[in-house]
A = this chain, B = another copy of it.
Amino acid sequence: MSNDAPNPIRPTDTEARSLARGLITQARFAALGVTDPDTGGPMVTRIAFGTAPDGQPLTLISDLSHHTRALKADPAASLLLGEPGPRGDPLTHPRVTLQARARFLRHGEAGYDELAAHYLRDHPKAKLYIGFADFSFVLFDVQGAYLNGGFGRAFVLTPQDMGF
């Protein structure tokens, strides 16, 4: 990028904060980015997505998945939320990238049962596998975010901007 390139990041405003919060609240799945322990490079997969009662982002994943092994080796994670609808230009559809660190919460640990009951209210189909020993919750401690509200509408957000 040349030194005289325009800065594409806009000042954060109330509308940007509200848009990011809405994308997080409404998401039911996400694109998860991890560091692949086999290559040291990035790897993106689809995961289920939800929030804890206090709004913290989370997922429910299996030890058999490559992304789970990756997060155990390196908790640095990136989550893309906000899916385009069937019509319209996907690049004008709002989306947010959360930069976070993953923290596992396993069967039998403090708070697990309460979180499982909460999660199943939003994700009833997960009752088919939530009891399997290889499934755990992963809570994402959000460190920051990039919001793209459509072509040319980019913002950098803090955890506080999103209510974390």
Residues of A within 8 A of B (CB): 1, 5-6, 8, 28-29, 31-36, 39-46, 48, 63-66, 69, 74, 76-80, 83-86, 89-91, 93, 95, 97, 99, 125, 129, 134, 146, 148, 151
Contacts and interface: CB of A to CB of B under 8 A. Distances in A.
Nearest to A49: B90
Given A5-B134, A8-B64, 20 more contacts: A5-B64, A31-B44, A33-B33, A33-B44, A35-B35, A35-B41, A39-B76, A41-B74, A41-B99, A42-B44, A43-B99, A44-B78, A45-B80, A45-B95, A46-B90, A46-B93, A48-B90, A66-B146, A85-B86, A86-B86
Q: How many copies does the complex hold?
A: 2
